[in-house]
Amino acid sequence: MSNYHIPVLASESIEALDIKPNGTYVDATFGGGGHSKLILEKLDKGQLIAFDMDSDAAKNIPDDERLLFVNHNYGYIKQFLDYLNIDSVDGILADLGISSYQIDTPERGFAHRFEGVVDMRMNIDNNISAKTLLNEYSEESLTHILREYGELPNAKRIAHSICLAREIKPIETTTDLTEILKEFEKPGKQGQFRSQVFQALRIEVNQELEGLKNLLINGCNKLKKNGRFVIISYHSLEDRLVKNFFKAGNFEGNIEKDFYGVANTPLKPLSGKSIIPGVEETKANNRARSAKMRVGIKVS
């Protein structure tokens, strides 16, 4: 389990959940089970429902009758909780992004530093992989993906080069892609640039932002009053959605007020600022360096 993924902001996220021993909780991103293990340690007769769309995560399920594993996208949290006859939960935790295991498994194609098929599917049953995007999507669509999800100012030029390259031969591997990207790299910033491109493709393949929106809306509907919603994100696109939803109940961040001027929001942020890992944690776990945690409390 520890080799699969080191849980980020472990103690902070568990404290933020304010766990009741007999409560019902959701770990929306089970992965290696690190956060789930810590939740279970706080439970007595409570229950934990753990989601993960990656079937490999099922290998990490502990022998604990209090945990129920759902091998599916967390965006469908409401549908599965309804199916399980769970009307409401006391807390939801989500550690977004990809796991250390997924990054470090070359054949999954998530990392630009490894040679492997350019795949990037969190759910291996998904019909669309990054290879599909690179070889079949239009130049216009690729430009949109790179600009919106990778926040790349030269997205159009990169997309054009990808389309030219695939006319010569299909883009099959991570190395095929990084070779195309070399003409756009600036000295000392190769890793950052490649990460932005890979991030953009990964978000599109897995529909991550749509899944997050569904998790926020449907998860909020399933939270009890005073229940806690804890989200750890790793890039500005995710964090902005979480921040706005916790503050305003929508993704634009526009607070709507009733006739009396009272804000009509289902959640309130525990703090106006995000919680970030300390120096010691980022030294021990380099992948924690970009993490931001936000906590929302259900008020209505």
Q: Which residue has the higher pLDDT, 54 or 20?
A: 20
pLDDT given at position 55: 87
Mean pLDDT of 66-95: 96
| The pLDDT value given to residue 101 | 80
* Dist. CA 287–CA 281, nearest whole Å: 10
Domain ranges of the chain: 10-100+210-298, 105-206
Average pLDDT over the chain, rounded to whole? 93
In the predicted model, is pLDDT for residue 5 greater than 90?
A: no
Residue 1: per-residue pLDDT:
43
Average pLDDT rounded to a whole number, residues 7-29: 97
Phi, psi of 148 (to 5 degrees): -75, -40
Compute the distance between CA of residue 67 and CA of residue 62 in angstroms, rounded to an integer.
8
pLDDT at residue number 67: 98
Does the structural domain 10-100+210-298 have CATH classification 3.40.50.10280? no
Q: How far apart are the first and last CA of the chain?
A: 37
As a whole-number percent, the residues of the chain with pLDDT over 70 amount to: 98
- For the residues 6-18, what does the mean pLDDT come to? 94
| The pairing of beta strand 223-233 with beta strand 292-298 | antiparallel
Q: Which of 21, 75, 80 is nearest to 49 (CA)?
A: 80
Q: What is the pLDDT of residue 4?
A: 59
pLDDT over 50 at 6, yes or no: yes
pLDDT of 249 over the 60 cut:
yes
Q: pLDDT tier at 2 (50, 70, 90 boundaries)?
A: very low
Mean pLDDT of 7-12: 94
Looking at the whole model, is its pTM more than 0.85? Answer: yes
How many residues are recorded in the chain? Answer: 300
Confidence of residue 24 (pLDDT cuts 50, 70, 90): very high
pLDDT value at 259 more than 90: no
Mean per-residue pLDDT for 180-199? Answer: 94
Higher pLDDT, 106 or 138: 138
Number of alpha carbons in the 13 Å side-chain half-sphere of residue 198: 27
Average pLDDT rounded to a whole number, residues 253-262: 79
**Mean pLDDT, range 201-211, rounded to an integer:** 96
pLDDT at 287: 80
> Residue 269: which residues within 8 A CB-CB, separation 6 or more?
243, 246, 247, 294, 295, 296, 297
The model's pLDDT over 115-156, given as tens digits with 9 standing for 90+, comes to 999 999 999 889 999 999 999 999 999 999 999 999 999 999
Q: Strand 292-298 to strand 267-269: parallel, antiparallel, or no bridges (unpaired)?
A: antiparallel
Domain covering 105-206 in this structure, CATH number: 1.10.150.170
Percent of the chain scored above 90 by pLDDT?
81
